[in-house]
Structure 1
Amino acid sequence: MKRLRYLIPVLLGVALTSSCLKGNDQPVTPNPEGAFSGEFRLISRKPGQTKIDTAKCNISLSLTQATASYSVGGDTSKIHAASKGLYGINGQGIGFADKSVPATLATTNAPIINGKAHLHGTYLFVYNGSVLQMKTIIGDSLAFEYDLKKIN
């Protein structure tokens, strides 16, 4: 009986410790793929001013992982250009290479050409399996934000 009294605290300690040591049971979120639809925001501030302007439009984005290709459609008449090209994912970064961007601007992140934003360059992204959010900031006066939901 005396031995059992000394063994109870040890067994209790092992039981409590093992219940606190959990593995990473969270499921791995896949890379974004498929068709997405939602809002694009162009946030800008003119040099020397403090007022921030936001322009919005609805766009669609298609990501095909097998060919590493993408295409942008939707309301591309004013703020965002329709485009297509190749993309790649590295951790929380996603990079786009828009085929319609001229070679002289190929190294430019998030260019605006003829008054329209292009999905081109490197973006930080968050994806939970149904919502894809991407953002890039250029200097202190321009940001591109994509807030998209998976539609299939």
Structure 2
Amino acid sequence: MKKKTINVLAVVALFSGIMFTSCLKDKNEVTPAPSITGNFDGVFKKLKKRTTGTGFDTVYKHGFAVRMKADSGYTAVSDSVSHSNSNGTFENDYNYIQFSDKTYTSGTTKLHLQGLYNYAFDGTRLQFLAGSGDTVLYFYDLRKTGN
């Protein structure tokens, strides 16, 4: 009798599990990438690959701020002679952010927020990175200061 009760309970548990999981909806909906909006302040760094060993050395570090709004674009301000103040539009997915600078012209010597960058955003800290070949990286490390 004890063995039959255990077998019946096992069958009931299995059947309940199957019925419960068949009731779950499989939506196949993709969660949209996080919206990057607000005012961000921090630094941008030029990093150069070490000639010996591994890793990168900081060539320079300067203050940098950007205001980002999905509907109106971005405005970037830097206190550096290396980075241009600029504005334009941007789009992002989960891994990349694409900047299209309205002030950029080819042949310019100053950096612009122009092109494709890897990024990470946790709601407060925004970091993005772009490379120039395999030896130079430009790293932006920003914190949200307001909406």
Normalising by structure 1, we get a TM-score of: 0.70
Unaligned runs of 5+ residues in structure 2 are 21-25
Asked whether the equivalents of residues 123 and 134 of structure 1 are also in contact (C-alpha less than 8 Å), the reply is: yes
State TM-score, norm by structure 2: 0.73
| Aligned positions, number | 133
The offset of 1:78, in angstroms, is: 2.4
Give the structure with higher Rg (CA).
2
Q: 1:32 aligns with which of 5, 28, 36?
A: 36
Identify the match of residue 81 of structure 2 among 52, 60, 78.
78
Counterpart residue number, 2:63: 58
Retained in 2: the 8 A contact 1:31–1:127? no
SS in 2 for 1:32: coil
Quick one: which amino acid aligns to residue 143 of structure 1?
Answer: L
Segments of 5+ residues of structure 1 without an aligned counterpart are: 106-112
Question: What's the CA shift string for 1:2-22, capped at 9, x where partnerless?
Answer: 43221344566789999xxxx
State the Cα distance separating 1:86 from its structure 2 match: 1.2
Report the CA distance between 1:79 and its aligned residue: 2.8
Between the aligned residues of both structures, percent identity stands at 26
Opposite residue 6 of structure 1, the aligned amino acid is N
Q: Structure 2: how far apart are the matches of 1:91 and 1:136? A: 16
RMSD (CA atoms): 3.1
Q: Deviations over 1:34-75 (max 9, x none)?
A: 111111111135xxx8274521011111111112x1111142
